[in-house]
């Protein structure tokens, strides 16, 4: 049975998704957004025939899956309503603001017999899947370095005194939750949860505009850099005692990498230019159609570990979100 998908939100990530969603087989596509005028215009521009006037109406419809792409602080409440209505939920990253919210949603999904999954492109990209196989050839891992620094178009407005969701601690913003989260998913997906972490953040008005996160694994160390207040060439590297892997682009959009053994020539791997969100949504449709709860739980295990790292890191740096 083809998916009947309801999209919640009209932000940049949804606009990005619409560039490739037509390649995914869906039985029905609908949308709801908090600004009705904007949502209606967005739907018209993107060929979405059904626009809901309110969220409850969407949840009372025959849609089977809800994709939530709202500001971070709204993830929990909107997902909770959808799960209670018996809908499968695809949640844009980060899945929730903290581990308490995550655990509640995971338990609710299990109770309701529906699928909850976090939309993190990293885990479904062909390049990342190939790295998972290739990393064994690096020998004993020693250093992992992941840098995603991208000057935010909103940072100048933030410096001028305006507080937008991406820089608002009351809305679960910050560089860790927005950019560095991809680096953490990259590391945890390959190596599991670290034994500890520490976050050194540049903090302005209570939020991290950039920061360096150290992940401590028993046999190696990983550093994750995320910045919204400055820029640098993006580079990911995994260094072992037999060679290294380098990726010259962010983890969430990687489509090539280089493997360089200590002895021998560098090998370059390329995986085409398909839209970064296509592989994940193709996989989501498959998981939900097959009711593959085992795979959904496997992915939630990664989300759980990442959620714990993010919460420990930001609280250790003194960053508090709403209600904490």
Supply the DSSP string of 171-189, one letter for each residue. Answer: GT-SHIIIIIHHHHHHHHH
**pLDDT at 37 exceeding the cut of 80:** yes
Q: Quote the crossing angle between the two packed helices 126-134 and 181-191, to the nearest 10°.
A: 40
In DSSP notation, 62-107 reads: S--EEEE-S-GGGHHHHHHHHHHTT-EEEEESSS-SSHHHHHHHHH
| pLDDT at residue 324, as a whole number | 86
249: left (phi over 0), alpha (psi -120 to 50) or beta: beta
- Rounded Cα distance between 236 and 196, Å, is 21
| pLDDT at residue 16, as a whole number | 98
Give the three-class secondary structure for 32. Answer: strand
Confidence band of 100 (pLDDT split at 50, 70, 90): very high
Q: What is the pTM of this model?
A: 0.97
123-277+307-316 belongs to which CATH class? alpha beta
Residue 44: φ, ψ to 5°? -65, -40
- Rounded Cα distance between 304 and 118, Å, is 10
Give the three-class secondary structure for 199. Answer: strand
What percentage of residues in the chain have a pLDDT greater than 90? 98
Residue given tokens 């190696």 in the structure block = 220
Among residues 171, 252, 247, the alpha carbon closest in space to that of 205 is found at 171
Would you kindly state where each structural domain of the chain is located, as residue ranges?
3-119, 123-277+307-316
| pLDDT at residue 1, as a whole number | 74
pLDDT tens, 186-238?
999 999 999 999 999 999 999 999 999 999 999 999 999 999 999 999 999 99
CATH number of 3-119: 3.40.50.720
Give the three-class secondary structure for 290. Answer: coil
Q: How far apart are the first and last CA of the chain?
A: 42
**pLDDT at 321 exceeding the cut of 80:** yes
pLDDT tens, 67-90?
999 999 999 999 999 999 999 999
């Amino acid at each position: 049975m083809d998916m009947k998908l309801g999209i919640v939100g009209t932000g940049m990530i949804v606009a990005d998704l619409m560039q490739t969603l037509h390649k995914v087989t869906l039985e029905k596509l609908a949308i709801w957004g908090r600004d009705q005028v904007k949502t209606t215009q967005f739907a018209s521009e993107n060929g979405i025939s059904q626009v809901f006037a309110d969220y409850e109406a969407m949840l009372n419809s025959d849609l089977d899956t809800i994709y939530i792409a709202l500001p971070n602080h709204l993830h929990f409440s909107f997902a909770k309503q959808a799960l209670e209505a018996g809908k499968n939920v695809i949640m844009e990253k980060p899945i929730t603001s903290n581990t308490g919210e995550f655990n509640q949603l995971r338990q609710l999904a299990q109770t309701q017999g529906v699928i909850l999954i976090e939309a993190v492109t990293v885990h479904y990209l062909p390049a990342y899947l190939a790295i998972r196989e290739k990393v064994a050839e690096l020998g004993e891992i020693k250093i992992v370095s992941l840098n995603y620094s991208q000057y935010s178009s909103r940072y100048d407005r933030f410096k001028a005194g305006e507080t937008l969701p991406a820089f608002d601690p009351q809305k679960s913003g910050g560089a860790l939750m927005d950019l560095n989260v991809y680096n953490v998913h990259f590391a945890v997906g390959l190596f599991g949860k670290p034994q500890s972490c520490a976050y050194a953040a540049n903090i302005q008005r209570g939020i991290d505009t950039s920061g360096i996160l150290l992940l401590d694994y028993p046999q190696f160390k990983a550093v994750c850099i995320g910045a919204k207040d400055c820029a640098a060439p993006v580079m990911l590297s995994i260094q072992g005692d037999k060679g290294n892997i380098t990726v010259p682009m962010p983890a969430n959009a990687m489509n090539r990498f280089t493997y360089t053994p200590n002895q021998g020539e560098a090998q370059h791997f390329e995986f085409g230019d398909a839209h970064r969100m296509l592989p994940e949504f193709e996989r989501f449709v498959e998981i939900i159609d097959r009711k593959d709860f085992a795979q959904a739980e496997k992915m939630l295990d990664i989300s759980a570990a990442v959620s714990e790292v993010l919460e420990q890191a930001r609280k250790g740096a003194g960053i508090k979100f709403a209600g904490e």
